[in-house]
């Protein structure tokens, strides 16, 4: 077990240094450490506009969603297995050849990723916050308790995601049932206000029971045990649910590609590549997963805003313009999925360039998400009685989404996942993404008090973003024309 885990950690490390270099890879925890230090040191300033319990709520909910996004081993493991005969070959495919089970391989993958993300991201985050105590006054006990809560939130997210992805491979109906229960629980919290988010996320309940929020130790121990029990139960059930024949049987399919090709005639020189992208999406099952990955955070976000505004009656000032800007961030996940549909080595044999494939994936992104994101912004506007802001929210949505995804494509090409582990790209991405988002957030807060000033400011930011988007789009050819597919 431990030998396999050690080898998998080595494999993961080598995969990631393949994206950049060992030096760049090891600067990631340093980057996280510095960000955490900066946030920790500036917390007292932020406390004037957002309370500590709200910050901890966002931290735990955010880390839970992050854990969910990295825990889909069921999907990923299956993808690796399907690619076992291509250039990429992974240890998780070795049970085909060596005497150990897929269950052991998948359990090791879970342990590997928990170690990987905790060591690279969560522990350096703790270190940064600890360092900030030299400059601001925090109780060390509160920091450690917050660390335990965040760690539990991450473990709950990763194990839940692992479980549902494994169940998806076994039975689509079971997967739908579990996801349905989870979404219903979110509805119960966000839409009907039947209970607090604590009831859905016991790690948050633990956080809410300990200092600096409260001092209910018996309650905290109960929620701590509940969280640990849930993590163990979901992980064990997931490992036990891994099938010994994870590839399933060969199925016959209907020849759809020519029909898709005709349907995308409007895309002209991108017709063939778009037809291929959509065929891949449908047949790999990624279409529903992508839509779920895009819609779930939007639903979560809209319930949170509705609950904060109406349930808790806290006037935090987040309005539909703010959410329109936020949607752009979720688009990056969809682009990331689009670049991971299949191995693309075979493009080396065809007269297709990397920039052209990137543009085809960007087109697919816009075709897939524009309707959903528009619907989301309309829904938020109607739910919060902010339809008067739609004239500015919709342009912000389209410009911000285009800007974020084209900036991602420019910076990371066909490997956006590398962005997460390459601090050099991540720093550039943070600068190009957080700065405009911060401007729009600040301006959106004042849109009701100073509408003309805010609208002019947002207009200027949008104009600058549009110009930068065009520069990024044009730069794709120059930056990626010499890149290869393999």
Residues between 305 and 344 with contacts to another protein, criterion CB under 8 A: 341-343
Q: Is 352 in the site for another protein (CB under 8 A)?
A: yes
Residues between 124 and 163 with contacts to another protein, criterion CB under 8 A: none
Q: Is 1 in the site for another protein (CB under 8 A)?
A: no
Q: Is 257 in the site for another protein (CB under 8 A)?
A: yes
Q: Which stretch binds another protein (CB under 8 A): 136-144, 185-193, 280-288, 444-452?
A: 280-288
Q: What's the min distance (Å) between Cβ of 77 and another protein?
A: 15
Length of the chain: 486
Q: Identify the three-state secondary structure at position 226.
A: helix
Cβ-based neighbour number of residue 409 at 10 Å: 27
Q: Which stretch binds another protein (CB under 8 A): 67-75, 83-91, 197-205, 321-329?
A: 83-91
Q: What's the min distance (Å) between Cβ of 113 and another protein?
A: 24
Q: Can you tell me the distance from the alpha carbon of 190 to that of 310, in angstroms, rounded to the nearest whole number? A: 10
Task: Kindly tell me which of 48 and 250 has the beta carbon lying closer to another protein.
Answer: 250
Q: Give the number of C-alpha atoms closer than 13 A to the C-alpha of residue 317, restricted to the C-beta side.
A: 12
Residues between 445 and 484 with contacts to another protein, criterion CB under 8 A: 482, 484
Q: Can you tell me the distance from the alpha carbon of 477 to that of 409, in angstroms, rounded to the nearest whole number? A: 11
Task: Kindly tell me which of 262 and 385 has the beta carbon lying closer to another protein.
Answer: 262
Q: What's the min distance (Å) between Cβ of 9 and another protein?
A: 24
Instruction: From 400, 341, 354, select the one nearest 373 (Cα to Cα).
Output: 400
Q: Is 187 in the site for another protein (CB under 8 A)?
A: no
Q: Which stretch binds another protein (CB under 8 A): 39-47, 201-209, 349-357, 411-419?
A: 349-357
Cα Rg of the chain, angstroms: 23
Give the contact letters, 387-426, x = binds to another protein (CB under 8 A), - = no: ----------------------------------------
Q: Is 85 in the site for another protein (CB under 8 A)?
A: yes
Q: What's the min distance (Å) between Cβ of 18 and another protein?
A: 13
How far is CA 240 from each of CA 22, 262, 369, rounded to the nearest angstrom?
A: 35, 44, 36
Q: What's the min distance (Å) between Cβ of 88 and another protein?
A: 10
Q: Is 243 in the site for another protein (CB under 8 A)?
A: no
Q: Is 284 in the site for another protein (CB under 8 A)?
A: yes
Cβ-based neighbour number of residue 312 at 10 Å: 12
Q: Can you tell me the distance from the alpha carbon of 240 to that of 217, in angstroms, rounded to the nearest whole number? A: 34
Q: What's the min distance (Å) between Cβ of 89 and another protein?
A: 10
Instruction: From 185, 141, 411, select the one nearest 300 (Cα to Cα).
Output: 185
Q: Is 83 in the site for another protein (CB under 8 A)?
A: yes
Q: What's the min distance (Å) between Cβ of 59 and another protein?
A: 39
Instruction: From 158, 194, 161, 206, select the one nearest 57 (Cα to Cα).
Output: 206
Task: Kindly tell me which of 348 and 448 has the beta carbon lying closer to another protein.
Answer: 348
Q: Is 359 in the site for another protein (CB under 8 A)?
A: no
Long-range contacts of 102-107 (CB under 8 A, 24+ apart): 102/77, 102/242, 102/243, 102/244, 102/246, 103/239, 103/240, 103/242, 103/244, 104/1, 104/4, 105/4, 105/77, 106/73, 106/74, 106/77, 106/166, 106/238, 106/239, 106/242, 107/1, 107/235, 107/239
Q: Is 48 in the site for another protein (CB under 8 A)?
A: no
| Per rule CB under 8 A, count of chain residues that contact another protein | 39
Angle at 316 between CA 132 and CA 377, to 5 degrees: 115
Alpha helices in 2-101 (DSSP H): 2-19, 22-46, 52-70, 73-82
Encoding tokens for residue 123?
């522990």
| Residue of 2, 137, 245, 250 that binds another protein (CB under 8 A) | 250
| Residue of 137, 245, 252, 265 that binds another protein (CB under 8 A) | 252
| Residue of 1, 214, 217, 486 that binds another protein (CB under 8 A) | 486
Q: Is 268 in the site for another protein (CB under 8 A)?
A: no
Task: Kindly tell me which of 196 and 283 has the beta carbon lying closer to another protein.
Answer: 283
| Residue of 11, 216, 345, 477 that binds another protein (CB under 8 A) | 345
Q: Is-contact 213 146, C-beta < 8 A?
A: no
Q: What's the min distance (Å) between Cβ of 256 and another protein?
A: 8
| Residue of 103, 104, 196, 261 that binds another protein (CB under 8 A) | 261
Biggest CA pair distance of the chain:
70
Cβ-based neighbour number of residue 23 at 10 Å: 10
Instruction: From 378, 398, 392, 401, select the one nearest 447 (Cα to Cα).
Output: 392
Q: Can you tell me the distance from the alpha carbon of 122 to that of 119, in angstroms, rounded to the nearest whole number? A: 6
Encoding tokens for residue 300?
């979560």
Q: What's the min distance (Å) between Cβ of 109 and another protein?
A: 21
Residues within the interface to another protein (CB under 8 A) = 82-83, 85-87, 250-258, 261, 271-273, 275-276, 279-280, 283-284, 341-343, 345-346, 348-353, 482, 484-486
């Amino acid at each position: 077990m431990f030998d396999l885990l050690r080898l998998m950690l080595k494999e993961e490390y080598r995969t990631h240094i393949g994206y950049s270099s060992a030096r760049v890879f090891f600067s990631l925890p340093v980057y996280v450490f510095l960000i955490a230090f900066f946030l920790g040191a500036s917390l007292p300033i932020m406390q004037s506009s957002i309370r500590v319990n709200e910050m901890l709520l966002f931290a735990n909910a955010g880390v839970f969603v992050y854990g969910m996004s990295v825990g889909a081993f069921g999907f990923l493991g299956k993808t690796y297995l399907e690619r076992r005969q291509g250039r990429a070959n992974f240890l998780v495919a070795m049970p085909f050849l060596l005497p150990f089970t897929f269950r052991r391989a998948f359990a090791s993958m879970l342990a590997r990723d928990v170690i990987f993300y905790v060591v690279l991201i969560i522990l350096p985050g703790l270190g940064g916050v600890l360092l900030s105590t030299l400059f601001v006054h925090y109780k060390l006990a509160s920091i450690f308790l917050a660390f335990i809560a965040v760690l539990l939130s991450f473990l709950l997210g990763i194990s839940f995601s692992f479980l549902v992805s494994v169940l998806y491979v076994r039975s689509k109906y079971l997967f739908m049932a579990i996801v349905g229960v989870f979404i219903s629980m979110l509805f119960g919290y966000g839409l009907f206000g039947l209970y607090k988010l604590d009831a859905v996320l016991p790690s948050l309940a633990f956080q809410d029971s300990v200092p600096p929020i409260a001092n209910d130790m018996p309650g905290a121990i109960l929620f701590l045990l509940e969280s640990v029990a849930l993590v163990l139960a979901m992980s064990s059930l997931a490992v036990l649910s891994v099938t010994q024949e994870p590839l399933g049987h060969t199925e016959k399919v209907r020849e759809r590609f020519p029909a898709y090709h005709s349907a995308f005639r409007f895309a002209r020189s991108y017709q063939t590549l778009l037809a291929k992208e959509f065929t891949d999406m449908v047949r790999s099952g990624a279409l529903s997963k992508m839509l779920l990955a895009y819609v779930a955070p939007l639903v979560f976000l809209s319930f949170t805003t509705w609950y904060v505004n109406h349930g808790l009656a806290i006037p935090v000032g987040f309005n539909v313009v703010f959410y329109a800007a936020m949607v752009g961030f979720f688009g990056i996940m969809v682009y990331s999925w689009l670049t991971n549909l299949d191995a693309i080595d075979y493009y080396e044999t065809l007269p297709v360039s990397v920039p052209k494939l990137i543009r085809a994936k960007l087109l697919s992104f816009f075709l897939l998400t524009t309707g959903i994101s528009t619907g989301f912004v309309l829904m938020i506007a109607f739910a919060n009685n902010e339809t008067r802001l739609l004239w500015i929210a919709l342009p912000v949505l389209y410009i911000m989404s285009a800007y974020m995804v084209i900036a991602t494509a420019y910076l990371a090409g066909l490997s956006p996942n590398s962005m997460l582990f390459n601090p050099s790209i991540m720093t550039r991405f943070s600068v190009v993404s957080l700065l405009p988002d911060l401007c729009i957030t600040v301006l959106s807060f004042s849109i009701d008090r100073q509408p003309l000033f805010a609208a002019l400011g947002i207009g200027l930011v949008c104009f600058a973003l549009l110009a930068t988007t065009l520069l990024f789009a044009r730069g794709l050819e120059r930056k990626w024309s010499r890149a290869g597919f393999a």
